[in-house]
Amino acid sequence: MVQYNFKKITVVPPGKDFIDIILSRTQRQTPTVVHKGYAISRIRQFYMRKVRYSQQNFYEKLSTIIDEFPRLDDIHPFYGDLLHVLYNKDHYKLALGQINTARNIIAKISKDYLRLLKYGDSLYRCKCLKVAALGRMCTVVKRISPSLAYLEQIRQHMARLPSIDPNTRTVLICGYPNVGKSSFMNKVTRADVDVQPYAFTTKSLFVGHTDYKYLRYQVIDTPGILDRPFEDRNIIEMCSITALAHLRAAVLFFLDISGSCGYSIAQQAALFHSIKSLFMNKPLVIVCNKTDLQPLEGLSEDDMKLVMDMKAEAMKTITQAGDPNEEGVLLTMSTLTDDGVMAVKNAACERLLEQRVDVKMKSKKMVDCLNRFHVAVPKPRDNKERPICIPPAVLEARANAAAKEKKKLEKDFEQENGGAGVYSTSLKKHYILANDEWKEDILPEILDGHNVADFLDPDILERCEELEREEGLRLEEQAAQDAFEIDGHELTEEQKEILSQIRKKKALLIQEHRMKKRTAESRPIVPRKFDKDRKFTTKRMGRQLSSMGVDPSAAIARSKSRGRKRERSLSRAAADGDDMEVDGQQSNKKLRLRSRSRSKSRAPEEVIPGEGFKDSEQKKKAIKKAKDATRNRNKEARRGEADRVIPTLKPKHLFSGKRTLGKTSRR
């Protein structure tokens, strides 16, 4: 659980905004109207309230700033030193001290002016005292404007700090710049630390999390450290030194044995010996990185000696920490090929876990618990060996219990027999019968006192297929007998020639159709007005029919008959001579009306047989009642939130009664 969360600190406003916030709130939250005709006690209370309210708001705002910023003496030493490195503890305390002083001065100003307002003898004097009190408060806040701006910058920077829990299981990575610390961090955690081929890419602490043996570990990537005096180190290096000094963590000291980082093994060994005091009482692992460029066995004798000296120092450190295990002190790894990455992580987590368990076992609380237990160890009575013997009955009972625990479920049967969709659960398996073999018997179906199964033919499917084949043969013979094929014995020479032309034309059409199906010309038939090639015209059809010896007039005349339909209707209307004028000068409008009257639809009140109405009057009444019944429903359906309807044009609460003060805006 993260103990410190600096992201929750309230924003610190600038001095000018601070004053505007307090004065506008005072104006909005206190009465604004006072007259010189009021009693003097009422006038005094009016202005005293304003002064007191402003002082309370200033006090609350400043108190929030003081309380929410962490106190360096009360928080964990790691955060205390980290804030000192980043912001200078003296400046930080001085800024908070000025805020506290301003709060007390504002309280004193309010107290003094409230005492003077008690004896104000006029509205003018009370108002002047109020203005003076608020002015002095605002002057105090203006004087601390630099401190407010400084604290706001600190708040913004603290909100960007990583959430590090100093008390949880932690793995700390340190070493020279550009030795592969951030690459290892990205491999073992889900953090996304920037990796570049130059020094000091990482300028602050980065936190990631990894799991080992179902426990969550906090991995911290620190900036690179250079081998130089403590006083010469910059803020970036001091962040790493602070983490090494105060966090109880497993330390991974990274060593670049290839020299590609820009620093030799001698320089890295010197850094190790200069900061080895920070490794005391902590699990330490020396990680030789970049073995893909330079294996550990290929180092020179001098470099190998330096590495072995570092290993010896690490052995002393882990011995002081109470860890007798000497394995895994010096490990090799390559973040480029992932060779040995998981081994390094597991070794660090295992060492840290063992150390934390040992510390808990040595604590006073654990000693008090162990004192309550007594383990009885029996003394041997002779030198005879008595091996462990488990009775056969116990083994058999254990095997039966295991078999009962591993009872097959319906899901197991389903997987064994083909899975879902293939296996069907038998509903008869739980039938209670005298013999289990009877469960899958087919139940008899009784019809007219007889068992239907006794009359079923096992070869019924084959016989049905034979009947179908026989019926198909008979149908083919009948079709062959009924088929009529034109032969050349009954036709004349002229008819034979026409028949041959028709057959040729039919063969050509079939061939053309097959060609269209094989190509992209297979498309729906379009109307003739879109027939650009004019393949299908009446003239062409007439020519083809004439070439065959057939009179085309009948076919062409029949196609034109559709266009004379209107003329026939007009001629029939003209034949009804009762309404026509003698001289034939009746308007075309009347002719059109008469022609349309033939297609007039049925009147709604006309009774159709089967509707259940006696006559058209009764049907009219029924239609009227149906309309009346739906009218109200239709009206109510329009009265909703989404409809553009004003239910009440003049609401009574807005258009009645006396208009009092402040009510005009309601209209």
C-alpha 117/C-alpha 44 separation (Å) is 6
C-alpha separations of 175 from 117, 244, 252, 270, 401 in Å: 68, 11, 8, 11, 58
- Which one of 320, 346, 364 terminates a domain? 364
On whether residue 357 sits in a domain, the answer given is yes
pTM for the whole structure? 0.51
Tell me if 530 is assigned to some domain. no
**DSSP 8-state assignment for residue 71:** P
User: pLDDT band at 638, cuts 50/70/90?
Assistant: low
3-state secondary structure 237-270: HHHHHHHHHHCCCEEEEEEECCCCCCCCHHHHHH
Is 325 or 636 the better-scoring residue by pLDDT? 636
Is residue 170 domain-shared with residue 151, that is, in the same domain?
A: no
271-277 long-range contacts, Cβ below 8 Å, gap at least 24?
271/175, 271/176, 271/225, 271/226, 271/227, 272/310, 272/313, 273/310, 273/313, 274/227, 275/174, 275/225, 275/241, 275/244, 276/313, 276/317
Residue 24 belongs to domain spanning:
6-157
Collapse the DSSP code of 275 into the 3-class scheme (helix H, G, I; strand E, B; otherwise coil) and give the result. Answer: coil
- Whether residue 647 lies inside any domain: the answer is no
Of 332, 364, 396, the residue that ends a domain is: 364
Quick one: 244 and 305 in the same domain?
A: yes
Q: Cβ of 180: how many Cβ atoms within 10 Å?
A: 24
Better-predicted residue by pLDDT, 209 or 244: 209
Q: Does residue 81 sit in the same domain as residue 208?
A: no
CA separation for the pair 214, 547 (Å, rounded)? 97
276 & 176 share domain:
yes
| CATH number of the domain where residue 14 is located | 1.20.120.1190
- Using DSSP, state whether 91 is helix, strand or coil: helix
Q: Is it the case that residue 126 has pLDDT exceeding 90?
A: yes
For the segment 469-507, what is each residue's pLDDT rounded down to a tens digit? 888 888 888 777 665 455 556 678 888 888 888 888 888
CA dist 273 and 312 (Å) reads: 11
Q: Are residues 75 and 214 in the same domain?
A: no
Contact 226, 233 (CB under 8 A): yes
Confidence of residue 589 (pLDDT cuts 50, 70, 90): low
Q: What's the number of domains the chain is made of?
A: 2
Q: Which of 108-117, 427-436, 553-562, 569-578 has the lowest mean pLDDT?
A: 569-578
> Does 53 lie in the same domain as 197?
no
Contacts of 29 (CB under 8 A, 6+ apart): 53
At residue 330, φ and ψ (nearest 5 deg) are -120, 115
pLDDT bin (cut points 50, 70, 90) of residue 518 is low
Give pLDDT tens digits for 418-460: 888 888 888 888 888 888 888 887 777 888 888 887 777 878 8
- Concatenating the DSSP letter of every residue in 209-238 gives EEEETTEEEEEEE-----SS-GGG--HHHH
Rounded alpha-carbon distances, angstroms, from residue 641 to 203, 630, 637, 667: 60, 21, 11, 21
C-alpha pair distances (Å), 612 with each of 602, 608, 619? 17, 9, 9
- Is the domain of 287 the same as that of 196? yes
